[in-house]
Structure 1
């Protein structure tokens, strides 16, 4: 059954971009994420108490876990939600986030001492080439903003998200492999909720339109990406090399693009389809034994 975990992870993770696009018309990004993290933390605390799960063995480990949570839940999610709020299509946000495996592979050698084989480098390169092909259809060279519908700050936010999740993956692998999965995840969400509360109060109005679409998006994000995908990600990082786990993110952009096509009528041209195939081949080459 464990062989299907990467497939499930890719699907659940990709729906995070879709959920963001569904919910952000009704709430500002930090407010949206503060509500999401707070409810997630409360539910997880109840589960922890009922199941009597263990906690991190030291305050030092807990602090490492909290920092890794801030990197992934605030740096990554905050960057993605900000980019989408500023007008970036969910598919494009996923494409930029898909650059993470290449950054992780470069950094895994000096930080973790992991050796990346030549065939993995080739796979990672093919994955990057596939993303560039898909991205090429989103370019609008005639526009002053380079992309249609959003400006440079959306791009900055998206790339900040990539750097944050890369740092989180490496930090998690280096300092947090001994954390109890459930209680460690709770600490990560609490740290993120605290930081989002400060950001929302400082920079946003915290106004929310509690429509049916927003509530659906909120609880989908809580139970699918937050509980499902994040738990699978932490498990895979703990079990495998960071560069191999990161290569799974190459599959997220094409899956997100397909979901966006069916849900939001975002069209897919020939270059995008070829890019998906190339990215899939790259993932296979990077993770195969």
Structure 2
């Protein structure tokens, strides 16, 4: 990693973790896809203005546009849509994070085949330890839930973030973050609008809490965290980037403790430490 970028992974983890907090604030006032549609429209407007005013270069050729569009559908439409629908349907954020927490193992399995990346035994060990840590953090949140129906959107989100990371690393790792974001979010917005129009009432209660959550998710997540994710995918291996998602459930639990007063038991604290250890091992360079 280049000098001056060593803190980017930690900043990304913190920003990404706040997405669950923003969802908890905003979802009581809007259906999930309608919420995301407004978010995407604001991101499109913001990034389009930024790209035009800064003179950002736009993707050249239909192939690059196509690859950016596909990666956007996977990373944004499918992943975020699945997460928001799972939480709205009653799946606890911690359980949703655990399902998505399988991503590093799936990414490692696909990285060698699709990207030619070598995953060292030490990295596999770190991925397994990290998964165990995530399971401990959210173990007390599962309870007796009708999981099967609620898990389907979360599993779709898991597929989206895993396939999107591998696809972007393979086909469009290098692009301008300003104009490229516009190309990624355009098909995401269209797809989300069509599904929301056909499945939801699209009514929104414009409360102060909803507006705060919306602005946070637009500025901090869709602009800040997504830009960091694109940078990390560009500069690191797919396995290293994916391993960071193990830190999301512990980080989310810590933020929820600070913001909402949710308690952290001894088992959860041990899980957080294991997740940190797992990410450390997974991010050690292969030899």
Q: TM-score range by the shorter chain?
A: over 0.9
Unaligned runs of 5+ in 2: none
Question: Is 1:47 aligned to residue 25 of structure 2?
Answer: no
2:5 & 2:162 partners in 1: Cα distance?
Answer: 24
Deviation at 1:34, TM superposition (A): 0.4
Counterpart selection for 1:180 from 176, 182, 201? 176
Cα distance, 1:211 vs. partner? 0.1
Q: 1:14-72: per-residue Cα shift (whole Å, max 9, x none)?
A: 01111011100000001000000001100110111100100112111101100100001
Report the TM-score when normalising by structure 1. Answer: 0.95
Q: Is the 8 A contact 2:129 2:274 kept in 1?
A: yes
CA deviation map 1:106-137 (0-9, x unaligned): 11111111100111111111001111222321
TM-score, scaled relative to structure 2:
0.95
In 1, distance between residues paired with 2:16 and 2:67? 23
Residue number in structure 1 paired with 2:73: 70
CA RMSD of aligned residues (A): 1.2
Deviation of the 1:144 alpha carbon: 5.9
Q: Which segments of 5 or more consecutive residues in structure 1 lack a partner in the other structure?
A: 146-150
Change (3 A) 1:144 1:53: closer
* Correspondent of 1:28 among 21, 28, 31: 31
2:284 is equivalent to residue 281 of structure 1: no
1:85 equivalent in structure 2 = 88
How many corresponding residue pairs? Answer: 282
Post-superposition, which runs of at least 4 consecutive aligned residues in structure 1 deviate over 4 A? none
2:193 to 191, 197, 200: 197
Tell me which of 61, 64, 73 is aligned to 2:64: 61
Seen in structure 2, the aligned counterparts of structure 1 residues 178 and 57 have a Cα distance that, compared at 3 Å, is farther
